[in-house]
Structure 1
Amino acid sequence: MTCASPVSTLDQWTRPLGVLRLSLTARCNLACPYCCPDSADPPGTLTLDQQLRLIRVAARLGVRTLRLTGGEPLLSDRLMPLLAGVADGRCTPGDPLVGLRDVALTTNGVLLSEGRARALKNTGLDRITVSLDAVDGAVAATMAGLRGGRSAGDGLVQQVLAGLVAARAAGFDPAAGDLKLNAVIQRGVNDDQLIPLAELARSQRMELRLIEYMDVGNRNGWRMDQVLPAEVMVQRIAEHWPLRSLGRTPGGTSRRWRYHDEVSDVGVVASISEPFCGDCNRLRITADGQAFTCLFAAQGTDLTPAMGSDQELEHAIRSLWQKRSDRYSEERHCTADSLPRAEMAYLGG
């Protein structure tokens, strides 16, 4: 396939399309209450060919970062063939996938064995972000929705730690940003884990990204008083280890800080207290082909009718993005919002 140069695609606020978050499954092997995953995938899950077509067309329209998500993407039998197809395209002159600079994966780390980590690296994955919301077993069990209390939580923490070791051994280098740790912080539930999580990440010389508890979907019973603002998180960590600001890169989700001793970095994703809608460049596509231009959207746009050809799909995505004007996080406090919204696990976060 011969392709022209990538086209810059802008929305109503002149925000370029730059990141594609593609969900491979809505299923998960954990049951985090803030995420509320489904027990089964929606009907009409995209085929491998359809997923590759989506990624190619998105790259043609300016996408430079592909992030594979879930649910838990390591549960998907489509993951490895998809990575292989993307890797082939990135090495083929004239293929739009040559323009992809970054292919990343978000996982809870439970299934990240040594063999799996090596296979991911060998099949062209550039980066892994592992989610862990607590070091203490009892708190980890609560955040993951596990039965069995502290014992189950301790087991989860050990599995995730083993996954981090496996990823590092496979060549995902934390110092290069190839391996990061995510944690959702909910006031009164796991905010006492801030310092233990920072200690863990520092011991691994790994960036820790702290995420404000968000009002995604309708199942999690979100309330504003459950949000610990990013500024407070940074202050608490800085009381133990001094930090200096690195700012936020255009289109990035996290404002970053570096420890004075240069051990590693801390990022804060402040969708509630410090919205960053102004340069949001992310398009989310669910496992069944629904496109969402905002994490907090009430409904998506079905792309499956346009899957017949690259031209049809390119027209559908370009049209959707050019009409985009959403900036929910910036408008959260000044608009009445009682509409149902898609759930986190379905959207892929």
Structure 2
Amino acid sequence: MTAVSAVVDQRMRPLGVLRLSLTARCNLACPYCCPDLEDPPDLLSLEQQLRLIRVACRLGIHTLRLTGGEPLLSARLLPLLQAIAAARATPGDPLQGLQQVALTTNGVLLSDQRARDLRQAGLDRITVSLDAVDGVVVARMAGLRHASAGEALLGKVLSGLSSARSAGFDPTAGDLKLNAVIQQGVNEDQLLPLADLARDQGVELRLIEFMDVGNRNQWRPDQVLPAAQMLTRIRARWPLQAVGRPTGGTAQRWRYVDGGGYLGVIASISEPFCGDCNRLRVTADGQAFRCLFASVGIDLKPALHCEHELQRRIGDLWSHRDDRYSDERQRITDSMPHAEMAYLGG
């Protein structure tokens, strides 16, 4: 099949990023995510995943992010990465247009060997999630019962960061980043400690507003600490210089004036970026979601037997896309159902 131009939606937003979930399972129980204990039936096979990625590349994606649940729980992760790497190295393969393959993980299973395996298999970037540096708060944010478990988890995540760096994921090149979801009244006191940790580790910290994704996390507007307030608190200790948000990106980036690296803020509640959103999310069982806040997905499995049919189906669903949920949040009813975060993959 010949290459085609990037497909655009009703608001002229091109398809650019595919977020592919490998599993809905997780080894933590973060309350804002509320993961499932089991995977949905009919997980995509390795062959189906590759076919999906290849077709998405023909339609314009330049970035693939592998998510979960916790993707390191998936036995298909390494074989998938190896197959992607082989395709990226094959002249004429659509995957040659893939500029970046990234992974989001909680870091618990990111051992020295696992990090080396991921790098050797062709993974370009890792983002590790950590919402606190105090054992009590770490435990609370991860759904653990005791502070000692929180301290142990913190140790594993820090060890995972070290393993990733040793394996060749260079923070200064953007290969290794840290994500933190901030909830007002829950872990907002961890803002400065998290920034301090990230600066010490030499990794970019991305602060994320608590989002109304799913129906289990009991989201309320008063639990959102707006990005502007986060920045005010950070800036009071370390002066910042604005870098901006790239087209299609999620994070407004800032540079520490003292040379301490970079900071990102993802403000999908207070400063929505629907206008240039270029992300297609596909769940581990092949449901396509055009928006993180969507109610239902579009089943791709009936088309996965044929690349031509799959390309037509994805092109059609994207070209008819017209959503901008975050822009319209204030006038959408609170009762509107959403797919769960762990199922969607963030």
Asked if the contact 1:69–1:106 (Cα under 8 Å) also holds between the matched residues in 2, the reply is yes
Local SS of the residue matching 1:239 = helix
Distance 2:234 2:220 in 1: 24
- Residue 194 of structure 2 corresponds to 197
Local SS of the residue matching 1:33 = coil
- Residue 222 of structure 1 corresponds to 219
- Residue 187 of structure 1 corresponds to 184
- Residue 209 of structure 1 corresponds to 206
Q: Pairwise mapping of residues 216-255 of structure 1 onto structure 2 (< 5 A)?
A: 216-255=213-252
- Residue 15 of structure 1 corresponds to 13
Q: Tell me by how many angstroms 1:339 deviates.
A: 2.1
Q: 2:327 aligns with which of 317, 327, 330?
A: 330
Per-residue CA distance 1:324-343 (angstroms, 9 max, x = gap): 00100000012324222100
- Residue 293 of structure 1 corresponds to 290
Q: Tell me by how many angstroms 1:17 deviates.
A: 0.1
Q: Which amino acid aligns with 2:169?
A: F
- Residue 273 of structure 2 corresponds to 276
Q: 1:98 aligns with which of 86, 96, 99?
A: 96
Matched, 1:116 2:114: yes
Distance 1:92 1:342 in 2: 37
Local SS of the residue matching 1:152 = helix
Distance 2:86 2:4 in 1: 18
TM-score by length of 2: 0.99
Q: Pairwise mapping of residues 9-158 of structure 1 onto structure 2 (< 5 A)?
A: 9-147=7-145, 149-158=146-155
Q: Which amino acid aligns with 2:25?
A: R
Distance 1:80 1:341 in 2: 31
Q: 1:159 aligns with which of 156, 159, 176?
A: 156
Give percent identity, aligned residues only: 69
Q: 1:304 aligns with which of 276, 296, 301?
A: 301
Q: Which amino acid aligns with 1:286?
A: T
Alpha carbon RMSD of aligned pairs, Å? 0.7
Per-residue CA distance 1:76-121 (angstroms, 9 max, x = gap): 0000000001000000011100000000000000000000000000
Distance 1:97 1:263 in 2: 36
Per-residue CA distance 1:45-94 (angstroms, 9 max, x = gap): 00000000000000000000000000000000000000001000000011
Q: What residue ranges of structure 2 are gaps of 5+ in the alignment?
A: none
Asked if the contact 1:42–1:288 (Cα under 8 Å) also holds between the matched residues in 2, the reply is yes
Distance 2:217 2:202 in 1: 33
Q: Tell me by how many angstroms 1:199 deviates.
A: 0.4
Q: 2:253 aligns with which of 253, 256, 259?
A: 256
Per-residue CA distance 1:217-265 (angstroms, 9 max, x = gap): 0000000000000010011001110000001000000000000012211
Per-residue CA distance 1:111-134 (angstroms, 9 max, x = gap): 000000000000000000000000
TM-score by length of 1: 0.98
Asked if the contact 1:6–1:59 (Cα under 8 Å) also holds between the matched residues in 2, the reply is no
Matched, 1:174 2:208: no
Distance 1:179 1:260 in 2: 21
Greater CA drift, 329-338 or 96-105: 329-338
Q: Tell me by how many angstroms 1:6 deviates.
A: 4.2
Q: Which amino acid aligns with 1:346?
A: Y
